[in-house]
Structure 1
């Protein structure tokens, strides 16, 4: 009964996805490395990726890592019988390692679903802030392959390697999420002092030898990922408070709270990583410069196109990590997000949190199936596309690919069936050069007239409500 009450307590909203931690950097710097530029261009054409937050915390169904952070924020609250004291909770949390045994882990099943949905790259959490490594690191025993972890006896226990290998076989670009802060190692949260907040709990300038050990620890773990895990295309670094103090933006609330210089020598890390993985895209989130090769607005869509490579990372459910009974976005909401983001020149990285058994919620598979059905018809307007003015007008969004412009007319909110008006007006430049307009997924010819500064499309009554199209109808305007 005690365990049952604890589980119920954990269902309180501790796993809500938070977005206020990751502003978009003001100043983008084009990377010097031509191979990085080439890979960035390739990545920008993929448009749709899969994100996965997974660790021992999935057993409790709580927010990833943050409940062991001693800050009084909504996402750091400790629940259940262990939450009465900080030390008691942290000990119980870290003891989750001894029960983590996701026997249903089957990355090929994820690959099949993601590929059908039209996803083209994957970013997986090799280590979150709590420090538990989902790969066979030699730097710590707090890892999935430790003998302390029941899953270590499984032949697929090196989870990150298995995930990367399975997705690589289907030609996905591979991204390794890695947390710069590590709340388990004594070199970041030194047991001599209690942790005060998310930051290092000692002054690195006062204890430079200890900080150097943390830098070495971080460097060595990233080198392992770059050496032993096949082709890695993206190093996705989280925990933007670990940064040189001279990069702090005082206009950003959370950056003003960073008390110390936490420079981990990104130049050294990136150089060594790119020796192993030439052309590696490095995403040092919110730290503008040579090592933030694209920006990552979190849980939001920019109002207008950005002038550099970018990706919105957004949860399919309400939470980044697995929460029992989580509410998943509808296929309509997901397609709408994808269309809006792509119309502004960005990529959508959609997160699904695997559960403690090693599988996704069945709802996630259902959503990916629906998205894949839509992409089979309309994907040509998504992949390798560019933003084009006027970007959007009303419920219509635009992209450009090759010699064609695509106009996405979204279905009404909260329903999957597309309802088209009698007339669709598209305000596009170069209307006099239009050769043909078609409605993707429909064989019937589309009638249109060219007015002053506008393309007027007439929709037959039979297609207005009975087209059979879902989520968004897409007009292809060929020039």
Structure 2
């Protein structure tokens, strides 16, 4: 009875406080300003391939889907966390850990997820195999805190990660495995001997070397399982950037606001990388915010850099307000996502868009419909997105510019919701157009260009405007 009551209280608390938590969480993961390019030819080749894809899906799914609350973070004792003050912290953690016994996604359908991503025009996936709470969405042999040890364990697709990866591979997606370096369920990271003050490990590693070495073994063995037992993996997407060698903590990291322990939370990334790349040659490693050889591309979260970047990067952002499932998602419009994707690509990045399946294992109709709307636009205008690279003069007001590897250039004109497509579009001759014509991608219509001193003007006849179906942004191709 106590667990049932606490469960109800916990759900109510998180429903009432979750918007604030998600808003605060947006500021927890920054990007490093230092970039070290890879030197392994296989990694370089895969990175170039990844930079062609431009648009991917990140899937957060775990026990937090049951109450529809923020993923993992409510377990953490930090000032920004909003829990019910009448519920003891220990009791709250026991309730959260106990969600394992309620998580039974009987409608789990990874094919539906992959179909929705494919319809959206996405080209790669990053699946959360384990978040900070330590609950594993794969059949790890290192702990029983996993999807294959609970009410879903007797189902044919209980080893969830395997079937997610298989479903997306069937649709020719690049495969990414998200893995949290911290593990708040592990006694080797959060030791019950001490209180859990914040996101960091809660004991002095210098005085408990054996315990930290056991955590390093635990982490290595779990990543090894993912690298050896789940088919071809293209990206190892490592979250929890506070788990890092102390010598990598610089003033930039300190300015982010999280407490920095006096000891090093080094998990021996060189050893992990050697093992992982032996199993998966050319593997992209994304040790988020930890600048150095294992951050093959940068990952600003819920934000777009102000200026174009000349290093590989990816904006990881949510389709709604939450990474995981939430009953009342505050969704971004199709128009908003298309505009975001355009800006990200013109600035040299890729967009990794987050969705969260329901506790039963399906994407909602709202997710699916919005993803389809994005894909409809890309079906017509994808040439300006996929396989492109940056140009020096990449933006003028609501017009963004890209170019492909064959030298074709594109002008993507963003149209705000409810606004009509203008009869003329102009931009500075800083982005020059050869000849006197451009091609409207939708319908492959040749349009005349006039040029004045310092300006290019494209006229769109009324008949052409009337036939444009994809009104969120129009695209011109030119030389």
TM range (shorter): over 0.9
2:68 matches 1:61? yes
Q: Aligned partners of 1:443, 1:57: CA distance in 2, in Å?
A: 47
CA-to-aligned-CA distance 1:65-98 (integer Å, 9 cap, x gap): 000111121xx3224xx96100000001000111
- Equivalent-residue separation in structure 1 for 2:38 and 2:407 (angstroms): 29
Q: 1:331 aligns with which of 330, 334, 354?
A: 334
Structure 1, gaps ≥5 residues long: none
| Number of the residue aligned with 1:23 | 30
Give the number of equivalent residue pairs.
469
TM-score, normalising length: structure 2:
0.94
CA distance in 2, matches of 1:125, 1:391: 34
Gaps of at least 5 residues in structure 2 are none
Stretch deviating more after TM superposition (127-136 or 453-462): 453-462
Corresponding position of 1:180: 181
- Two-structure CA RMSD over aligned residues (Å): 1.8
1:409 maps to 2:413:
yes
| C-alpha deviation, 1:451, in angstroms | 3.3
Distance 2:360 2:113 in 1: 14
Shift of 1:269: 0.4
CA, structure 1 residues 13+463, in 2 after alignment: closer, same or farther (shift >3 Å)?
farther
Distance 2:131 2:355 in 1: 15
Output the CA distance in 1 between the equivalents of 2:436 and 2:119: 32
Q: 1: distance between equivalents of 2:459 and 2:338?
A: 24
Are the counterparts in 2 of residues 233 and 280 from structure 1 also a CA contact under 8 Å?
yes
Match of 1:229 in 2: 230
In the superposition, the TM-score normalised over structure 1's length comes to 0.94
Q: Secondary structure at the match of 1:409?
A: strand
The equivalent of 2:82 in structure 1 is: 77
Deviation at 1:389, TM superposition (A): 2.7
1:445 maps to 446
Q: Which moved more, 1:297-306 or 1:247-256?
A: 247-256
Aligned equivalent of 1:455: 456
- Between the aligned partners of 1:444 and 1:160, the Cα distance in structure 2 is 45
Map 1:6-405 onto structure 2 (within 5 A).
7-14=11-18, 16=22, 18-73=25-80, 76-79=81-84, 84-146=87-149, 149-252=150-253, 253-254=255-256, 257-259=259-261, 260-401=263-404, 402-405=406-409
Pair 258,6 (structure 1): closer, same or farther in 2 beyond 3 Å: closer
* Contact 1:273-1:280 within 8 A present in 2 as well: yes
Q: Which moved more, 1:61-70 or 1:425-434?
A: 425-434
SS of 2:166's equivalent?
Answer: helix
Contact 1:241/1:255 (8 A) holds in 2: no
When structure 1 is superposed on structure 2, of 436-445 and 23-32 the one drifting more is: 436-445
Tell me how far 1:372 sits from its aligned partner: 1.1
